[in-house]
Every structure is written in structure tokens, then in C-alpha cells.
């Protein structure tokens, strides 16, 4: 899928590069689920270098930001919720050249972003030049991290209210806390990578051409605030995990206390029943007319007395 935003503010959508005119006056050309043939077509017509897209899984600086005289290429790992509501990450590549701005991502991630930000296309169409569009991409990424962190913070707060205030929790809460902790960790990791890319760009030669340093500094300041929120999420999740663990320990202690009381209450009657179940000949009580009811009464008292004792001690 190819989506082209022309300088005339019109948009062209095509299924493959054969449907895209070779002579276009455009701002943005976006490729969803791109193929090798798409990259070859772009290299041929716009002289683009796609080294960053071939080595993006490496940890070197070149896997995140590359520039030459003709272009500047960026690799961002973007977290988003897939159709199963699971937080995953996928790469987003941005290449800017004198010809225009080129975006490469998956259709799954793009669908999520379009659903979350339905006005994004309108905002893009309001931009007036390539520099503004380029700056919009940085601002949008920074805002996106702020929004997805805020969304996770809201979920954690609701969970905290349920556990700490309403005092309602089940065994599933620990699984939810673990999942939220993983999501928070993933966002933190990708935020660090994004901040690194922003700083690499600020040191680049391409920045002297675009001159958006002050805007990038503002976005870095916003990302620093987002990072503080992420750390607060970690602290809150740790508190929740400790609180749930303590409540589980208290419940287990109550269960063990109850089992102890039950064991003590039935042990004496069981002992008495065991003694009179041995059937020795010289057992006077077995010949008494009142032996059976007397033993039953003794067994009842032997069970009731420990129960009353533990009740007084507030074990029950």
C-alpha cells in the first residue's frame, strides 16, 4: 500500500509502485508493508540508500540514524497495541531527502495510529513545506510516547484503586501487574532509543540544513517528562505487587490458622475414639450403661473447648 501526499494537498493511493507516476511533486510518500521491489524502485527514481533498513536490528548507531549528502535516515521502534490488545513493537523508518519525505511501516501499526489519531491526516495536509512536515514527525513521535504512557498510567491507576482503595483483588491481579510492568519496561526501552535518535540528529550535518534544533530540544524536554512518568509507573507497580503479595500472605496465614484450629479441635475426639476403638476386655466404661453417652459428651467438650479458646484469642 502506497499513500502519497502531493504539494497540491491531494492524495494518491496505490497498491504497488507501478501505479505511481514517476514525475510527482509531493511532500510525503508512505509505504505500508513495503517490499524489496518497492525499495529498488525508490533507489532507482530517487537515489535513496536503504542501508538503515537492512541493519536495523543491530545495536550500532548506524542502525538508528544514517546520513549522507543526499538524505538522512531514521529508525524508530514504535510500541502499539495489536488486535489482541497486546503491546508490541515494530520499526518505523523515515528518510528525508531533497525529493521529499519517505515513511516505511507496517499496515498493522498504521491502522492503530490512524484509529487513535483520526485527525493526523488533516494535520499533515495543513503543513505548508517539507521542513514543517519533517518537524511534525518528530513532534508526533514525542506526543505519541506521551499518550501511550498516559494510557498505561491510567490503567495502572484504575488497578491501584481496585486493590488499595476498594480492596478487591484476585489471583489475576498479579498477572495484570506483570503485564503492565512489561509494557512499561518496553515503552521505557523504546523511549531511550528514540531520545538517542533525536540527539544523534541534533549533532548531524543534516540539521544545519533543516534548522529545527529548538523544536527538537522542546521534544526532548517532553520526552524527559514522559520518562519521569514511566519511572513513577514502575514505583506504583512495585507498591501494588508488594501490597497484593502481603494480602495473599495474610490470606494464607488465615487459612493456616483455620486449619490449625480444625486440627486441634478434632484431634482430641479422634484420640478418644481411637482409645475406645481398641476393644480391650478390661475397659470398664464399655460395660457401663452410660458409657456411650458419657464418651460422646466428653468428645464434644474436647472439640468445643479448643474452639472457644482460639475464638477468645481471635484466631477465628
Q: 42 with 58: CB under 8 angstroms?
A: no
Asked whether residue 59 carries a pLDDT value surpassing 70, the answer given is no
d(CA 200, CA 296): 87
Strands (E), the chain: 2-6, 11-14, 26-32, 65-67, 71-81, 87-97, 101-105
Beta-strand pair 26-32/2-6: antiparallel
CA dihedral 35, 37, 42, 47 (to 10 degrees): 120
Say if domain 1-116 classifies as CATH 3.30.460.20: yes
Q: Output the pLDDT for position 260.
A: 77
The SS3 of residue 278 is coil
How many Å apart are CA 66 and CA 28, to the nearest integer?
Answer: 19
Please determine, for residue 315, whether its predicted confidence score (pLDDT) is greater than 70: no
pTM of the model: 0.76
What CA–CA distance (Å, rounded) separates 36 from 14?
A: 16
- Determine the Cα–Cα distance for residues 93 and 78; give it in Å rounded to an integer: 10
User: Quick check: 80 and 88 in contact, CB under 8 A?
Assistant: yes
- How would residue 191 be classed by pLDDT, with cut points 50, 70 and 90? very high
E-strand stretches of 176-274 = none
Domain ranges of the chain: 1-116, 252-312
pLDDT digits (tens, 9 = 90+) for 219-236: 999 999 999 989 988 888
Q: Which CATH architecture has domain 252-312?
A: Up-down Bundle (1.20)
**What span, in angstroms and rounded, lies between the C-alpha atoms of 237 and 240?**
5
Q: Span 145-167, mean pLDDT?
A: 84
pLDDT score at 167 = 61
Return the higher-pLDDT residue of 43 and 250. 43
Confidence of residue 55 (pLDDT cuts 50, 70, 90): low
Amino acid at each position: 500500500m502506497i499513500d502519497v501526499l502531493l504539494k497540491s494537498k491531494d492524495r494518491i493511493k496505490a497498491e504497488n509502485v507501478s501505479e505511481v507516476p514517476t514525475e510527482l511533486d509531493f511532500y510525503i510518500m508512505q509505504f505500508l508493508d513495503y517490499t524489496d521491489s518497492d525499495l529498488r524502485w525508490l533507489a532507482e527514481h530517487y537515489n535513496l540508500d536503504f542501508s538503515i533498513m537492512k541493519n536495523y536490528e543491530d545495536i550500532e548507531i548506524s542502525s538508528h540514524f544514517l546520513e549522507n549528502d543526499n538524505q538522512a535516515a531514521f529508525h524508530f521502534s514504535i510500541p502499539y497495541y495489536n488486535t489482541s490488545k497486546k503491546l508490541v513493537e515494530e520499526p518505523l523508518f523515515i528518510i528525508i531527502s531533497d525529493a521529499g519525505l519517505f515513511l516505511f511501516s507496517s499496515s498493522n501499526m498504521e491502522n492503530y495510529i490512524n484509529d487513535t489519531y483520526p485527525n493526523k491526516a488533516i494535520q499533515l495536509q495543513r503543513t505548508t513545506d517539507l521542513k514543517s512536515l519533517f518537524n511534525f514527525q518528530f513532534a508526533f513521535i514525542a506526543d505519541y510516547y506521551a499518550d501511550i504512557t498516559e494510557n498505561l498510567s491510567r490503567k495502572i491507576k484504575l488497578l491501584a484503586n481496585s486493590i488499595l482503595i476498594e480492596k478487591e483483588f484476585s489471583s489475576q491481579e498479579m498477572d495484570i501487574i506483570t503485564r503492565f510492568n512489561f509494557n512499561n519496561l518496553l515503552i521505557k526501552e523504546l523511549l531511550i532509543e528514540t531520545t538517542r535518535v533525536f540527539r544523534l540528529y541534533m549533532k548531524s550535518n543534516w540539521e544545519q540544513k533543516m534548522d529545527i534544533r529548538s523544536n527538537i530540544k522542546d521534544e526532548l524536554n517532553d520526552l524527559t517528562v514522559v520518562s519521569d512518568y514511566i519511572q513513577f509507573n514502575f514505583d506504583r507497580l512495585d507498591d501494588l505487587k508488594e501490597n497484593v503479595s502481603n494480602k495473599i500472605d495474610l490470606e494464607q496465614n488465615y487459612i493456616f490458622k483455620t486449619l490449625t484450629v480444625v486440627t486441634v479441635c478434632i484431634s482430641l475426639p479422634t484420640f478418644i475414639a481411637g482409645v475406645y476403638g481398641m476393644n480391650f476386655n478390661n475397659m470398664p466404661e464399655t460395660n457401663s450403661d452410660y458409657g456411650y453417652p458419657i464418651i460422646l459428651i466428653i468428645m464434644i467438650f474436647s472439640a468445643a473447648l479448643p474452639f472457644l479458646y482460639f475464638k477468645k484469642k481471635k484466631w477465628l
